[in-house]
Structure 1
């Protein structure tokens, strides 16, 4: 009898562990972000917004306790999902890129990297007279749209049609995704310009912090080392500025040196330049052995005024230009396959 009781207790413990483990994994699998209009986090991942911290690697992970606004993230930490990605809470009138929007009927599209049973989606917008130079708080927000999902699991994307209240200038929209079978939710903020133009973020003029060999830095972080300012190109720890390729010099002017000729055996990283057949090219990312005049990894920066026709298979970065149907367009941020006349990523130049 005693043996049977012990066996039953053991089975209950094992069963409980399985339940808890399954619940944790199931909960952790749900992720998503607002694809259109582009959220602050997505523009960080696309390298339009600068100095964003680690959100550049996972814009889909802004998860925090739900039941907003009565619960959820603390005031001042709404944009970061309660401090999970603290850089996103930095708030000034010029800190973030702003996507063009209009009052009235709008469409919001979520992209799910892992869907989840869903209770509802809600949308909030900052009130007239809010202060764009202070961290976002509940009192700044006005609810304007709810889309019920009644516990259903969405597909890869979900599109919602909502009527946005009348606004002018810069406002923030909070897009809220409440999970149906966990106490958590996802929070995305959208920096919107209701004056009709895409607005680039202002240059970062903040002071750099002294480099620390024991600290982890991610792409966009800046440090001061021996009186010079450097910016990280990617994840790094312990790599000394001035010696490691992960650090780019940004804080002082240096003598203009002759750009070296392209070397087929050399490794180039994003930002490095090389000359080839009398023209100067700049690497967009890591490359080795790819000819500058042929490979998409290289951008022409000097030596030819000829503009190439838009190519649906080519990757374009912010600032690059292309010809399309007789007109010149300039990319605002990273893009591939987006037709210039049909997407906001391209600006008509002439």
Structure 2
């Protein structure tokens, strides 16, 4: 490369660099969800239930920590909160393995599981980054029949959590 071209390239780079600093960095569009037993977003992704945008983004149900909604308060995925949508209830025993698929495994404080607003299990991740595939075994022996489990993945270094609802027929 000639000296003139090197000088021109350096000048263009120096002129563009400050402009690039002002461009916001992209956010990750993928995170994680419960794939087995199939969560509501997994049922949408599989085409079991007709859904909107969540079909293409089952891993993106993110909202502020502490919510108790299947959509995580995300209006784009409000259909996940609709109990009349015909969600398939997976028959299970009283001990259930919840398998997560994590497409962007964030450092994690806790994993929590609820039925009817009652916490049934907590798993402490201690701020560590989980693997891309993760399973929790939860004892649901105090419950029977059709139940909806809310699974909440609390990220350690943000104010957000990821949400998944899993419809089960316990003992069914």
TM-score normalised to the size of structure 1?
Answer: 0.41
Equivalent residue for 2:87, pick from 60, 80, 96: 96
1:180 aligned onto 2:156: yes
Partner of 2:127: 151
- 2:147 is matched with which residue: 154, 171, 189? 171
Aligned pairs, number: 152
In structure 2, C-alpha distance between the alignment counterparts of 1:60 and 1:30, rounded to whole Å: 6
Cα distance in 2 for partners of 1:190, 1:171 equals 8
2:78 to 81, 86, 92: 86
CA distance in 2, matches of 1:150, 1:84: 31
Verify: 1:106 aligned to 2:96, yes or no. Answer: yes
Displacement of 1:125 = 1.1
Shift of 1:54: 1.2
Bigger share in helix:
2
Matched, 1:162 2:138: yes
Instruction: Please list every run of at least 4 consecutive aligned residues from structure 1 whose deviation after the TM superposition is greater than 6 angstroms.
Output: none
Name 1:122's counterpart in structure 2: 112
Shift of 1:30: 5.3
* Partners of 1:30 and 1:115 within 8 A in 2: no
Q: CA deviation at 1:195?
A: 4.3
8 Å contact from structure 1 (residues 144, 165) kept in 2: no
RCO greater where, 1 or 2, for CA within 8 Å and sep 6 or more? 2
| 1:13-46, Cα deviation, whole Å (9 max, x unpaired) | x8xx78x956x73xx3551010111101101110
Distance 2:70 2:29 in 1: 21
**Cα distance per residue 1:164-221 (max 9 Å; x no partner):** 132222110001000010100000000111242xxxxxxxxxxxxxxxxxxxxxxxxx
**Residues 48 and 29 of structure 1: CA distance in aligned 2, closer, same or farther (over 3 Å):** closer
Q: TM-score normalized by structure 2?
A: 0.80
Q: Is the 8 A contact 1:62 1:84 kept in 2?
A: no
In structure 1, stretches of 5+ residues that fail to align are: 1-13, 127-140, 197-350
Structure 2 match to 1:60:
59
Q: CA deviation at 1:89?
A: 1.6
Q: What is the CA–CA distance in structure 1 between the aligned matches of 2:82 and 2:36, rounded to whole Å?
A: 22
Structure 2: give runs of 5+ residues left out of the alignment: 1-17
Shift of 1:119: 0.8
**Residues 72-130 of structure 1, C-alpha deviation per residue, up to 9 Å, x if partnerless?**
36xxxx112212312112123x7211111122x3211110111111111000012xxxx
Q: Distance in 2 between matches of 1:193 and 1:53?
A: 25
Superposed CA RMSD? 2.2
* Alpha-carbon contact 1:121-1:148 (below 8 Å) kept: yes
The answer to whether the Cα contact below 8 Å between 2:53 and 2:76 also exists between their aligned partners in 1 is: no
SS at match of 1:166: coil
